[in-house]
Amino acid sequence: MWAFIHKLGSPKWFYGISAKLQPWFWVAAALLIVTGSLWGLAFAPADYQQGNSFRIIYVHVPAAFLAQSIFIAMAVSGLVFMVWKIKVADMAAAVMAPLGAAMTFVALFSGAVWGVPTWGTWWMWDARLTSMLILLFLYLGVIALRGAFTSRDSASRAASVLAMVGVINIPIIKYSVNWWYTLHQPASFTLTSRPAMPTEMWLPLVMMVLGFYSFFIALTLMRTRSEILRREANKRWVQDLVKDQVEEAR
């Protein structure tokens, strides 16, 4: 177990194993997203209340899932980095942050677009929308803090601490925003009161969620690999690797 963790901590080993894993996740992501979106957008039955506009769900829900999961993944990576000083964990956390912020933005934007046909407005101070907006600010804070330090080690540790502080606060923020919302605004509409989704609507959604997760893993692996090459550029194994590839190209 410990040997495995320490192996995982070696950038060189991670570079090798991620090269083998990466294609599988790309293939899974492509298959799931293409089938899921074709099925969801073209073949799934329209909602009897919302008509075709409900199909935004196939982008909105996976993006919202990822937005929250990526923050947790980032905080866990930060913890691993702080406790065991595993550099790969910090590299992964560094490349995850922009993707997480992008997913939060996609969830917010698709929510706003969805709001026009269903609620008649682009923005509502709905509990879930508000806590998503706060999550976006938390992401931007982590990214900005990492960028503000000149020393990379300090930047990594500061971003890890902030990610951990943020992840403790996310549930607190979520519950307090829910409370605030129920106190201030009576629910004038409900998305949850309609009958449970039929299977033809639900299955493509599951496929899209799994597809988005595969895409996230594949992209994180790919970007962590580039980050490894950048940070380890003066190490012998990276220089040998580059030399080999240059010779192959000739």
Partner 1 sequence: MHSSLHSSSQQGPSEQGSSHRSDISQQISAVPLREYKGGLLIAVKATLVRDLTLLLRRRGEVLNPLVFFALVITLFPIAISPDPELLAVIAPGLLWVAALLAALLSLDSLFRSDYDDGSLEQLLLAPQPLAALSLAKVAVHWLLTGLPLALMAPILGIMLALPAGSYGVLALSLALGTASLSLIGAIGAALTVGLARGGVLLSLLVLPLYIPVLIFGAGAVQAAILGDGVGAHLAILGALLAASLMLAPWAIAASLRISING
| Chain contacts with partner 1 (rule: CB under 8 A) | 82, 134, 137-138, 140-141, 144-145, 148-149, 151, 153-155, 157-158, 161-162, 164-166, 168-169, 172-173, 176-177, 179-180, 183
Q: Nearer Cβ to partner 1, position 95 or 138? A: 138
Q: How far is the CB of 5 from partner 1 (least distance, A)?
A: 22
Structure tokens at 67: 């937005």
Contact 33, 212 (CB under 8 A): yes
* Residue 236 CB contacts under 8 Å (≥ 6 apart), including other chains: none
Q: How far is the CB of 145 from partner 1 (least distance, A)?
A: 6
Q: Match 């307090």 to its residue by tokens.
A: 176
Q: How far is the CB of 154 from partner 1 (least distance, A)?
A: 3
Q: How far is the CB of 67 from partner 1 (least distance, A)?
A: 14
Q: How far is the CB of 167 from partner 1 (least distance, A)?
A: 11
> Exposed, middle or buried: residue 90 (CB in 10 Å: 0-12, 13-18, 19+)?
buried
Please give the Cα distance from 2 to 219 (Å, whole number): 27
Q: Nearer Cβ to partner 1, position 33 or 159? A: 159
Please give the Cα distance from 56 to 58 (Å, whole number): 5
> In 3D, which of 72, 76, 62, 138 has the Cα closest to residue 101?
138
The packing angle between helices 199-231 and 11-38, to 10°, is: 150
In angstroms and rounded to an integer, the radius of gyration of the C-alpha atoms of the chain is 21
For residue 47, give the 3-state DSSP assignment: strand
Q: How far is the CB of 176 from partner 1 (least distance, A)?
A: 4
Q: Nearer Cβ to partner 1, position 24 or 179? A: 179
Q: How far is the CB of 243 from partner 1 (least distance, A)?
A: 34
Please give the Cα distance from 119 to 129 (Å, whole number): 13
Please give the Cα distance from 123 to 113 (Å, whole number): 9
Q: Nearer Cβ to partner 1, position 150 or 193? A: 150
Q: Nearer Cβ to partner 1, position 1 or 168? A: 168
Q: Nearer Cβ to partner 1, position 44 or 80? A: 80
Distances 122 to 65, 132, 207 between C-alpha atoms, Å: 21, 15, 28
Q: Nearer Cβ to partner 1, position 113 or 134? A: 134
Q: Which helix (H) or strand (E) holds 122?
A: none
